[in-house]
Amino acid sequence: MNVRRRLIPTSALTAATALALVSLSACSSDDAAATNNKGKLDVVASFYPMQYLAEQIGGKHVEVSTLTEPGQEPHDLEISAKQRAQLEESDAALYLKGLQPNVDEAIGQSDLKTKIDAAGLTSLEKHEEEGHGEEGHDEHGDEKHGEHGDGDEHEGHEHGHAHEGPDPHIWLDPVRYAEVAEGVGKAFAKADPDHKAAYEKNTAALVKKLEGLDAEFEKGLKDTRTKVFITTHAAFGYLAERYGLTEESITGLDPEGEPSANRVKALQKMAEADGVTTVFHETLVSDKTAKTLANDAKLKTDVLDPVEGITEKSRGDDYVQVMRSNLKALRTALGAK
């Protein structure tokens, strides 16, 4: 029997071979990516302070992504459909309930097995928005400013409307942040028991670092000419409480808010009475209001960073470096000895 063979042109054979090689290469790349991620805990962090914890504690055993991009103001973040899908595909989410309502909603609606709420890992408090009443300079009564007992020095300033929920800015207090770190370490160990020892070791190292930072702040702010500082928005309530200071904010807990004329006048009087030298503004929010107040009251301006994100404008490459820059700025403004 004669068998007829169909000859394949050389060009077609070459093309087919090349296509097969490309496909094989693509498969190999996919397999390599899968291998690289195999055994890693896929963690989605809501914004930078949570990302920092995840990276420090997880080390090489986690793959961390963040919902809030560098330079993006986190409070009003809108979650995209892509980010919702990202949440569904991850192993764990680390977030701070009460700071980003849209993130809270998206994580609450997801089928994630591990949801780590930093707000539940330490104690939160309600911090009243400083001086937002119409009188502006009345007696504030029994308002407690700090566990160090320095609040009594700050007589004569009204403390107005309280925020509807607890103040979420816990990461600006190194002690509370360390408590959160310990909770995150335990949650990672539970979600990924194969690497429990590594998570415990990394957590201990981070807590030690934060304890050192706390000691630096305690020593650096112990002996100052004044205890009062002015900020754009009330992000530093926990820090002020921890180190016996009094924070006066221009816009309260809303970073995008506008102060009333009475509030501005009250701050000007308070600055003169308490020897305030500096109005602090932030890196992710407009400095226009702070500079206007400073110009009118003949005060200086400087940056006090709430460390909600790291950008090229940040005075440091990570949380600890930026917090040390904050300490330096506070020492200068408060007249530390």
User: 227 and 99, same structural domain?
Assistant: no
Please say if the pLDDT value at position 119 is more than 80. Answer: yes
User: 158 and 112, same structural domain?
Assistant: no
Pairing state of beta strands 159-162 and 128-130? antiparallel
User: 327 and 263, same structural domain?
Assistant: yes
User: 183 and 239, same structural domain?
Assistant: no
pLDDT digits (tens, 9 = 90+) for 217-231: 999 999 999 999 999
User: 46 and 145, same structural domain?
Assistant: no
More confident residue, 337 or 328: 328
Quote the pLDDT of residue 128. 61
Please say if the pLDDT value at position 15 is more than 80. Answer: no
Half-sphere exposure of 207 (CA within 13 A, CB side): 15
User: 283 and 318, same structural domain?
Assistant: yes
Quote the pLDDT of residue 36. 42
**Structural domain of residue 145, as residue ranges?**
129-162+222-334
Contact 250, 233 (CB under 8 A): yes
Quote the pLDDT of residue 48. 98
User: 296 and 177, same structural domain?
Assistant: no
Is residue 134 one of the residues assigned to a domain?
Answer: yes
Quote the pLDDT of residue 263. 83
User: 278 and 260, same structural domain?
Assistant: yes
Mean pLDDT, residues 100-120: 96
Confidence of residue 116 (pLDDT cuts 50, 70, 90): very high
Contact 94, 118 (CB under 8 A): yes
H helices, E strands: number in the chain: 10, 10
pLDDT digits (tens, 9 = 90+) for 64-108: 999 999 989 898 899 999 999 999 999 999 999 999 999 999 999
Is residue 6 one of the residues assigned to a domain?
Answer: no
Is residue 83 one of the residues assigned to a domain?
Answer: yes
pLDDT digits (tens, 9 = 90+) for 40-71: 999 999 999 999 999 999 999 999 999 999 98
**Of the residues 212, 241, 276, the one at which a domain ends:** 212
Q: Residue 93 maps to which CATH number?
A: 3.40.50.1980
Round the average pLDDT of the chain to a whole number and report it: 81
User: 330 and 270, same structural domain?
Assistant: yes
Per the structure, the count of domains in the chain is: 2
User: 198 and 227, same structural domain?
Assistant: no
Q: What is the pTM of this model?
A: 0.79
pLDDT digits (tens, 9 = 90+) for 249-303: 887 655 556 777 788 888 889 888 999 999 999 887 778 888 888 888 889 999 9
Is residue 254 one of the residues assigned to a domain?
Answer: yes
Is residue 65 one of the residues assigned to a domain?
Answer: yes
DSSP 30-75: HHHHHHHHTT-EEEEESSHHHHHHHHHHHGGGEEEEESS-TT--ST
Please say if the pLDDT value at position 137 is more than 80. Answer: no
